[in-house]
């Protein structure tokens, strides 16, 4: 617990309007989309690197813990202050500093909202592809810290693939620069790649150099309805065998479809058990040809319905159906346990089958959907009563992870470990890997003050609104 006199010293660094200490206002900074709840002593809102550096130097001197935060849309508790301390919220460092068309890169502050950056670069005919479904709210800093993915990762890759370099404030206040403005650089260890996905445990991101590409000239969006998930997965595999790499390939199972149909008050054919959202993009002729081949395959070979978006409004409708899953699934349970396993694409059908069996074995409601093109499935276990269903749900999660790993998959494709997956880290990583990771953490943060309780530790005592 930080005493009032220690906190008072922060007023030498920031005006009091950007220091939050009242219990009511601190509630905003005590949680994220994981629903876990911590209790910060204070939250601060710096506006530049110098202020971040001074705040870190203060915390180092005071031995106070620091929790970096973007928008708090993380789903594994990464921004939750599990043991008090200072929440360092980067949301007011939100300037796009430069868009360099010649070198095709952008320089941004960490608090820039991902969707805003996309809109700005697209005005110039450029494209920043990483598109987490939370893109209208999450920050570039949070995306870098989590190595966020999204539907377009299938064709374009994840945040890591666009990060050329970083400015990082270290715990003692020093500023570190990694990477270059160039597309290539092989000088020394690749610290940029190490920091991307480090979940705010090694340093605070204060500036980001991002690679941009050309905006695709055309896009075609389709929605295909299938009688079963197995059939949808067979169609996915066939599309890849034809040599087409869609820019988006999203799969929803029957439970997810039913929830969204009811949420949006739409009729969805009762005999359909799966839905694919498919997008192809590129040069107009190429897009037309690929879309036609996909439509022929799905209608003639799979005898399933495909609807192509002919207007921007149609496209929004199809995308909105997929984007509405997160709020819609609360129709089948008050609380969500959200996992984001990833399996090799050719194991998708087995994985969906296995999930169904696990749901039946533990008598749990489960809705599954996700970025099927890259094998990334969002498994949502919906429970009403934590006391009654919590232990069963946890046992189911363990079994889901066992199945995923046996298929050569991973327990997190994009959400990171944070607090919620920390107890399962050892299921995927061997002891030597964990030891080396802890040594890396200690070399950046020997006192363990930066985002404690994340990745390596379990905090079963922490309050949760589940
Ligand atoms: C509806 C919904 C849909 C989502 N869809 C996707 C999806 O498709 N793909 C995907 O990958 N994720 C998705 N997410 C998860 C989440 O949006 C991402 O993890 C996102 O990158 C978090 O960004 P944020 O700004 O909200 O970060 P926060 O939640 O504030 O923080 C996340 C982590 O980053 C660290 N951090 C934040 N800023 C900094 C910084 N400047 N320096 C150092 N560390 C920092 C924090 O300490 C924490 O560990 C979704 C979440 C929701 C609620």
Last residue of some domain: 159, 180, 215?
A: 215
Residues 208 and 251 in one domain: no
Residues with Cβ within 8 Å of 436's Cβ and at least 6 positions away in sequence, in order, are: none
Tokens of 265: 């008050």
Q: Quote the pLDDT of residue 105.
A: 97
Regarding whether 228 and 88 lie in a shared domain, the answer is no
Separation between Cα atoms, residue 201 and residue 194, nearest integer Å? 11
Determine which residue's CA is closest to atom 50 belonging to ligand 1: 134
Give kind and range of the element (H or E) at residue 194. helix 191-195
- What is the average pLDDT value for the chain, to the nearest integer? 94
pLDDT greater than 50 at residue 44: yes
User: Does one domain contain both 100 and 65?
Assistant: yes
- pTM, to two decimals: 0.95
Q: Are residues 138 and 259 in the same domain?
A: no
171 and 113 share a domain? yes
**H-state helical runs in 221-380:** 229-241, 254-264, 284-296, 312-323, 325-328, 348-361
Is 427 domain-assigned? Answer: no
Question: Same domain for 276 and 345?
Answer: no
The secondary structure of residue 22, as a DSSP letter, is -
| Residue 342 β-bridge partners | 376, 410
Select from 200, 215, 230 the last residue of a domain. Answer: 215
- The answer to whether residue 368 sits within a structural domain is yes
Is position 453 within any domain?
Answer: no
Residue 219 pLDDT greater than 50, yes or no: yes
The pLDDT-based confidence of 387 (bands split at 50, 70, 90) is confident
Give residue-wise pLDDT tens across range 136-183: 999 999 999 999 999 999 999 999 999 999 999 999 999 999 999 998
Is residue 466 pLDDT above 50, yes or no?
no
Compute the average pLDDT of residues 72-90: 97
Burial 264-296 (b: 16+ CB within 10 A, else e): eeeebeeebbbbbbbbbbbeeeebeebbeebbe
119 shares a domain with 169:
yes
pLDDT for 464 beyond 60: no
CATH code: domain of residue 301? 3.30.70.3450
Q: What average pLDDT does the segment 257-265 reach?
A: 94
Query: Does residue 386 have a pLDDT over 60?
Result: yes
Q: Report the pocket of ligand 1 as residue ranges, CB < 6 Å.
A: 32-33, 67-75, 78-79, 90, 110, 132-134, 138-139, 141-143, 145-146, 148-150, 199-200, 204-205, 326, 414-415, 451
The ligand 1 atom at the shortest distance from the C-alpha of residue 203 is 43
Task: Quote the pLDDT of residue 462.
Answer: 55
The atom of ligand 1 lying closest to the CA of 135 is 17
257 and 383: one domain?
no
Model pLDDT, residue 459: 56
Domain with 340 in it: 333-415
Angle at CA of residue 63, ends 59 and 65, nearest 5°:
65
For the domain that residue 396 is a member of, what is the CATH number? 3.30.70.2740
Atom number, ligand 1, closest to the C-alpha of residue 137: 26
pLDDT band at 228 (very low <50, low <70, confident <90, very high): very high
* Residues 107-136 pLDDT 10s: 999 999 999 999 999 999 999 999 999 999
Cβ atoms within 10 Å, residue 152: 21
The total of structural domains in the chain comes to: 3
Nearest to 414 by CA among 339, 320, 322: 339
Please give the pLDDT value at position 167.
Answer: 98
Same domain, 135 and 160: yes
Q: Long-range contacts: 456-462, Cβ < 8 Å, 24+?
A: 456/422, 456/425, 457/422, 458/419, 458/422, 458/423, 459/82, 459/83, 459/419, 459/422, 462/36, 462/37, 462/38, 462/80, 462/82, 462/419
User: Do 79 and 227 belong together in one domain?
Assistant: no
Average the pLDDT over each of 66-75, 171-180, 266-275, 428-437 and give the range with the smallest value.
266-275
Residue 465, pLDDT > 60, answer no
pLDDT in tens, 294-323: 999 999 988 888 999 999 999 999 999 998
Name the pLDDT band for 421 (thresholds 50, 70, 90).
very high
What's the rounded Cα separation, in Å, for the pair 312 and 457? 46
- Domain-located, residue 443: no
Domain CATH code at residue 1: 3.30.465.10
Is residue 8 included in any domain, yes or no? yes
Q: Is the model's pLDDT at 446 over the cut of 50?
A: yes
For residue 206, give the ligand 1 atom closest to its CA: 41
Picking from 181, 196, 215, the residue at the C-terminal end of a domain is: 215
Structure tokens at 249: 């390939």
């Amino acid at each position: 617990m930080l005493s009032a006199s220690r906190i008072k010293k922060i007023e030498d660094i920031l005006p009091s309007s950007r220091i939050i200490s009242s219990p009511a206002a601190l509630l905003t900074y005590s949680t994220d989309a994981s629903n876990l709840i911590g209790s910060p002593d204070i939250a601060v809102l710096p506006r530049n690197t110098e202020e971040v550096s001074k705040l870190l130097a203060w915390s180092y001197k005071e031995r106070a813990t620091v929790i970096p935060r973007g928008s708090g849309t993380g789903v594994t508790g990464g921004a939750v202050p599990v043991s008090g301390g200072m929440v360092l919220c980067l949301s007011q460092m939100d300037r796009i500093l430069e868009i360099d068309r010649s070198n095709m890169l952008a320089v941004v502050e960490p608090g820039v909202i991902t969707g805003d950056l996309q809109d700005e670069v697209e005005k110039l005919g450029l494209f920043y592809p990483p598109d987490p479904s939370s893109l209208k709210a999450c920050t570039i800093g949070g995306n870098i810290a989590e190595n966020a993915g999204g539907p377009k990762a299938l064709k374009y890759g994840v945040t890591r693939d666009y990060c050329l370099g970083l400015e990082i404030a270290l715990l003692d206040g020093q500023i570190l620069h990694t990477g270059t403005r160039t597309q290539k650089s092989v000088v020394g260890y690749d610290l940029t790649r190490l920091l991307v996905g480090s979940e705010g445990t090694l340093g605070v991101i204060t500036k980001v150099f991002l690679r941009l590409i050309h905006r695709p000239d055309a896009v075609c969006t389709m929605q295909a309805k299938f009688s079963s998930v197995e059939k949808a997965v067979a169609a996915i595999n066939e599309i890849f065998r034809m040599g087409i790499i869609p820019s988006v390939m999203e799969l929803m199972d029957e439970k997810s479809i039913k929830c969204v149909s009811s949420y949006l008050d739409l009729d969805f054919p009762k005999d359909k058990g799966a839905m694919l959202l498919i997008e192809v993009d590129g040069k107009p002729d190429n897009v037309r040809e690929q879309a036609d081949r996909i439509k022929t395959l799905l209608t003639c070979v799979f005898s399933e319905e495909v609807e192509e978006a002919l207007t921007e409004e149609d496209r929004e409708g199809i995308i909105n159906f997929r984007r509405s899953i997160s709020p819609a699934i609360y129709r089948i349970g008050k609380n969500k346990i959200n996992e984001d396993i990833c399996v090799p694409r050719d194991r998708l059908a087995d994985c969906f089958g296995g999930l169904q069996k696990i749901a039946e074995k533990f008598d749990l409601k489960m809705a599954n959907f996700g970025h099927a093109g890259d094998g990334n499935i969002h498994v949502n276990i919906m429970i009403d009563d934590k006391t009654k269903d919590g232990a069963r749900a946890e046992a189911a999660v363990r079994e889901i992870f066992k199945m995923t790993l046996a298929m050569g998959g991973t327990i997190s494709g994009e959400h990171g470990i944070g607090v919620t997956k920390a107890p399962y880290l050892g299921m995927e990583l061997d002891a030597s890997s964990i030891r080396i990771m802890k040594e890396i953490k200690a070399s950046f943060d020997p006192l363990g003050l930066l985002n404690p309780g994340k990745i390596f530790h379990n905090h079963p005592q922490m309050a949760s609104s589940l």
